[in-house]
Amino acid sequence: MKFNYKKKTFAGIPKKYATLNKSKTVLILVPYDYTQTWKKGSKKGPKAFLSAAEHIELYDIETKSEVYKKGIFIVPYVINSSISTKKMIEKIYNVTKKFLSKEKFITFIGGDHSISIGSIRAFGEKYANLSILHMDAHTDLRPIYKGDPYNHACSMYEASQKHPLIQIGIRSMDILEKKYIQKGNIFYMHEIYENDLWMQDAIHKLSENVFISIDIDVFDPSIAPSTGTPEPGGLSWYTTLKFLKKVFLKKNVIGFDIVELLPNKEESSTDFLTVKLFYKLLSYKHI
C-alpha cells in the first residue's frame, strides 16, 4: 500500500498547515496487520482514515477551535506490510525517536496493535516519568502468542514491565494474563458501568507524562463495528470524550495512537469515528 504524501494532506488542509517545520503534530500512518488472528484488513485502516478525513468539519464546536491551524504533518513513511513484526517494531521505534528529537507531538494511525510496542519503547527512553493509558476491550498482556512475542495480543506486555499501565474498558482476556495485570490499574467495563468515580480514580493513577493507546474495539460495536474483534458492551462516544478531555487537562499527554480500524466497504461510520476521535484529541491537546 502506498500513499502519495506529496499531494495528500490531512482533511485536505492547505499545505501551509501541513509542512514539518510549521506543524506541531506529526501523523505516522502504519498500514500493518501481519499479526491479526481473526479478521485481517487493518492495514487498510490508514487509507480509509485519510479518505474519511476529507469529509470532516475543521471547526470543533466544543473547544471553539480550528486545531489544524497548529499544523498536521503526515510523515512520508510507510511500513511494508509483509516485513516481520520485529522489523516493523524497530522501524516504528526509530521513526518515533526521530520526531521526538524534533519536539513534535507524535500520533499514529494503525494497523494492528503491535505497532504500539516500538513507539512506547521510544517514548519510555525519553520520558522517565511515563505511564501508559491503554483503552481496549482486551488486556493484550500475553508475553508470547502463537510463537510471536510481538503479536497484537502482546502489545502491552513490554509496557507493563516498564511503566504504570492503566487499562480502561477491558471486557475480554485469557486467564493466563491475570498474573500480568498491575493491581488496581485495570478498569473493567462492567465496573465502569457501575462506578461513577472511575474517571477520577483512573486519572489519579496516571503519572505526569502519559502516552495514550486506543484500540477502536474499546467502543461499543453499535457505534464502531468495523474492527478486528468487536466485543459487546463497550464505551460510548461521549463517555470516552469526557474521560479523555479530563486526561488532557490534568496530565501531559506526549502522544497517542489509534489502532485496529478494519475498514468495511458496507460501513464507513467507524472510519469517520476514528477521524473525529483523532481530531478531538488534537483539539484537547492544543486548547
For 73-119, how does the pLDDT look when each residue is reduced to its tens digit (9 = 90+)? 999 766 766 788 899 999 999 999 999 999 999 999 998 999 999 99
For 176-186, how does the pLDDT look when each residue is reduced to its tens digit (9 = 90+)? 999 999 999 99
Residue with more model confidence, 151 or 250 = 250
Determine the straight-line distance between the first and last CA of the chain, rounded to whole angstroms: 35
Comparing CA positions, the residue from 147, 156, 170, 167 lying closest to residue 115 is 156
Q: What is the pLDDT of residue 146?
A: 87
3 state SS of 283: helix
Which helix (H) or strand (E) segment is 245 a member of? helix 237-250
Q: What is the pLDDT of residue 42?
A: 84
Q: What is the pLDDT of residue 33?
A: 79
3 state SS of 5: coil
Q: What is the pLDDT of residue 219?
A: 98
Give 235's contacts (C-beta < 8 A, 6+ positions apart): 135, 168, 169, 189, 192, 218, 219, 220
For 117-175, how does the pLDDT look when each residue is reduced to its tens digit (9 = 90+)? 999 999 999 998 999 999 999 999 999 998 899 998 999 999 999 999 999 999 999 99
Comparing CA positions, the residue from 108, 118, 139 lying closest to residue 257 is 108
